[in-house]
Structure 1
């Protein structure tokens, strides 16, 4: 549930918290009396109790599927990384649950670490992009369901149990639903909880291309029978959140209000309500509508209840408060009400104090920092982030957040300092390309005349890219494309960098000779900074 907020907060994050086997930095002793639980590497029994098979090559994944066929088990694929806050949330709230650990005995659990050599190529194979993503596949490799890390831990366990019981590919279930054929209650649940947002963002999506998603969700929501109320409501909310030109009638608005007025229904749909608060508010309470104030009041009351629901994780409770801030600031001139600000400060202090698990802090602290910043308490956000740098196993993520905060308040020098330090401290090949691309973008935006600094940063990213295998796949490829796009923008907005670009192209041409020709990777390297592409 926290992914959306964290994407905006950290300048280094790219897509949906769109992670690595870098050595963990041992946190310093906490200032509080409570002991901080130091994270262990994910694959160790001490970390999760799950017998993860670490895989980063096709051969390793194929071996896992061979084992699955031999044992008659499906494969549970986890795509994640060390720094990713939602991934750390999974470690703190799902992977340590005894019921989930027991459930994994029925799977062959495979961990794809986005920073291991070859992992990004595997990401392309399984159409996984955003960290974290859980994919359940049958022994033949057909996808049965896919879940993001935002869904409640208990719900993830329930959905995986359903998928395990049915053993049907999600494509077949979707085809039956769209053809009007009857589905079981469990199949409707699988469609409702399927992570459409983390399916690959192109026409090669595993199940449904993104362009078709809004219409498909509306179709599914309308077809879901009344007896499957929970699944139908979830599809209904997702459909309205994805709507391009929403025009709800009175019946649809009342259905939305019914969810808000029910603590139980709000709890079940928490991730949709919190992650899509602005979209849902604009859909059901458009500006100028006579019911706007009443809908927003009901929405805020529902979110307030979620923010104080101790059955939710701490990060999820903070996410509910972020959604409250978003609602309060829908009108440009409207500031966060003093009562809400008081609630936020109390919540931040309490959650900071209560969160002693190292994995959980990596999820909670960035969420609280974003909450403070969006509520108008930027100095408090900075203070919280700085206080946790030494305690984080991935401090570069927090440094990126500090850079984002500084940029928002107009402090370019501070933003550039934190951006550079975040890049230099980042760990793992794919992560370093991602953070490097973000640093180049920050340089071009805040210091476009500093040609030498920009050229040096780009050159560092390019050299790191060609020194690693599979740099032109998935997240790494998108990071490199971001560098190219940033440079194209730089040339258009501040002309006069022809010599620098010529030097970069010459250097890249020489570097690309070391890139394997397979799958067009060498050509992709050589075309990255082509003048024709930049002009287009």
Structure 2
């Protein structure tokens, strides 16, 4: 049976909710994942094999893309005997406390460890399946960890091999959590690596990473030099395909930061980027969702200066075609998220609303799409509908970490939109309180982030409510632990 295919579109909602609470059930029948970190590392030491960790959540769209595009593929199963596979779901008992120990936060995070527990590298989930598998093979065979390679590159103590540069260039900087950077400035570190790298493909990838990091830090690289580098990349079809994740992921940020609205440089850059995205939209080397993601970025690029002819009809047709082809639940979840988001980006709110409503009955995580529906209601200015969707999403969500996150989102939306409604705010606080007090890892990792969000917001609330005060006391007690 294919990975994750045990989810059926026609299962009853209660069946799907139970399955959502065991996000590992789909993988166990194929690869035999461990779900306990201590047991996995014990087996790794006993068998002298590395540990491959997948940290994720059943509702997370990139996690679902990962399941459909990689974890279910024969190539991954072929490599699996060479490592100990470990899957930790963010809603599993004690998961957030374990995430503190392993320095995990963002879903998904992929880490390869040596048998002794030392990190070899953190792997990006955005790569295409074949590229990811090649990178994983390099990491499994690597004589040095990413940390050792970085130290050598920064110090100049020895020359790095081409494979070391490939692993550093493809390191998952977004999920690093301070493990490789260890307090170093990201933009400066990437700039040094780019200058030292003598492997052309890796050097280009490092250059893109360094540029994005510098602009994100409000640094000011030479816009003409940076734009010229981007234009050279976008003009080369092979390079565009090799850097597909960066071409789609960094597009809007880089165009906005490097060019002024309606300027000649912006028009030239958006036109070149639109051509590159058009190439990716039709590439058989990409998954259906990756092709749809490229179209979504082209829609966003159109708003920056590169219009798309016949946009509305084209988008409706593409979303319909993509959904018709994406029947496997994990892939469909991601395609729904991308397609609905693209329709929203294009201003087609009614179409996005219809797509999401139709998805609720068959989705294995309908509460996730209720958040999207809340966002659409907010864009329409319908505060009541927005709050109702946030509340429904929280009430139907499952898993302690997810329920805390969804509950916090609803409470914060209430405080922002209806700060004078002390009764509804108090009721939400009263409902959150027993869930919070029953959590053993409420102050850990992603959970801790939600506690701080709620506490900071409630401290600034000017209303009066016994339930609010009770939740504030509980939040403060957990945060101080």
User: Is the 1:248–1:283 contact (alpha carbons within 8 Å) kept by the matching residues of 2?
Assistant: no
Equivalent residues in 2 for 1:317-466, closer than 5 Å: 317-330=291-304, 337-466=308-437
Name the CA distance, whole Å, in 2 between partners of 1:158 and 1:321: 26
Name the CA distance, whole Å, in 2 between partners of 1:340 and 1:222: 41
- Secondary structure of 1:94 counterpart: helix
User: Is the 2:88–2:95 contact (alpha carbons within 8 Å) kept by the matching residues of 1?
Assistant: yes
User: Is the 1:277–1:323 contact (alpha carbons within 8 Å) kept by the matching residues of 2?
Assistant: yes
Name the CA distance, whole Å, in 1 between partners of 2:208 and 2:38: 38
User: Is the 1:39–1:358 contact (alpha carbons within 8 Å) kept by the matching residues of 2?
Assistant: no
- Secondary structure of 1:182 counterpart: coil
Match status 1:525 vs 2:478: yes
1:387/1:308 Cα in 2 relative to 1: closer, same or farther (>3 Å)?
Answer: same
Q: CA deviation at 1:250?
A: 4.6
Q: CA deviation at 1:26?
A: 5.3
Q: What is the aligned partner in structure 2 of residue 189 from structure 1?
A: 166
Q: What is the aligned partner in structure 1 of residue 289 from structure 2?
A: 315
Name the CA distance, whole Å, in 2 between partners of 1:503 and 1:255: 57
- Secondary structure of 1:222 counterpart: helix
Q: What is the aligned partner in structure 2 of residue 520 from structure 1?
A: none
Q: What is the aligned partner in structure 2 of residue 43 from structure 1?
A: 24
| TM-score normalised by length of structure 2 | 0.91
Q: Deviations over 1:510-534 (max 9, x none)?
A: x68xxxxxxxxxx742759xxxxxx
User: Is the 1:171–1:207 contact (alpha carbons within 8 Å) kept by the matching residues of 2?
Assistant: yes
- Secondary structure of 1:69 counterpart: helix
Q: Which runs of 5+ in 2 are unaligned?
A: 1-5, 13-18
User: Is the 1:78–1:132 contact (alpha carbons within 8 Å) kept by the matching residues of 2?
Assistant: yes
Q: 2:35 aligns with which of 45, 54, 59?
A: 54
Name the CA distance, whole Å, in 2 between partners of 1:42 and 1:527: 31
User: Is the 1:75–1:139 contact (alpha carbons within 8 Å) kept by the matching residues of 2?
Assistant: yes
Q: CA deviation at 1:486?
A: 2.2
Q: What is the aligned partner in structure 1 of residue 458 from structure 2?
A: 487
- Secondary structure of 1:134 counterpart: strand
Q: What is the aligned partner in structure 2 of residue 173 from structure 1?
A: 149
Equivalent residues in 2 for 1:85-484, closer than 5 Å: 85-180=61-156, 181-200=158-177, 205-208=178-181, 212-225=185-198, 228-243=199-214, 244-248=218-222, 250-287=224-261, 290-330=264-304, 337-484=308-455
- Secondary structure of 2:361 counterpart: helix
Q: CA deviation at 1:67?
A: 1.1
Name the CA distance, whole Å, in 1 between partners of 2:124 and 2:163: 18
Name the CA distance, whole Å, in 2 between partners of 1:48 and 1:262: 42
1:344/1:192 Cα in 2 relative to 1: closer, same or farther (>3 Å)?
Answer: same
Name the CA distance, whole Å, in 2 between partners of 1:351 and 1:172: 43
User: Is the 1:25–1:392 contact (alpha carbons within 8 Å) kept by the matching residues of 2?
Assistant: no
Q: CA deviation at 1:182?
A: 1.1
Q: What is the aligned partner in structure 2 of residue 6 from structure 1?
A: none
Q: CA deviation at 1:46?
A: 6.6
| TM-score normalised by length of structure 1 | 0.82
1:176/1:48 Cα in 2 relative to 1: closer, same or farther (>3 Å)?
Answer: farther
Aligned residues: 466
Name the CA distance, whole Å, in 2 between partners of 1:417 and 1:196: 37
Name the CA distance, whole Å, in 2 between partners of 1:330 and 1:210: 35
1:45/1:343 Cα in 2 relative to 1: closer, same or farther (>3 Å)?
Answer: closer
User: Is the 2:211–2:221 contact (alpha carbons within 8 Å) kept by the matching residues of 1?
Assistant: no
Question: CA RMSD, aligned part only?
Answer: 2.5
Q: CA deviation at 1:324?
A: 1.3
Report which structure shows greater RCO (CA 8 Å, sep ≥6).
Answer: 1
- Secondary structure of 1:136 counterpart: strand
User: Is the 2:20–2:398 contact (alpha carbons within 8 Å) kept by the matching residues of 1?
Assistant: no
1:47/1:363 Cα in 2 relative to 1: closer, same or farther (>3 Å)?
Answer: farther
Q: 2:10 aligns with which of 10, 13, 28?
A: 28
Q: CA deviation at 1:447?
A: 1.4
Q: Deviations over 1:228-283 (max 9, x none)?
A: 22211111111111222343365543332121112221111111121111122134
User: Is the 1:39–1:47 contact (alpha carbons within 8 Å) kept by the matching residues of 2?
Assistant: no
Q: CA deviation at 1:69?
A: 1.2
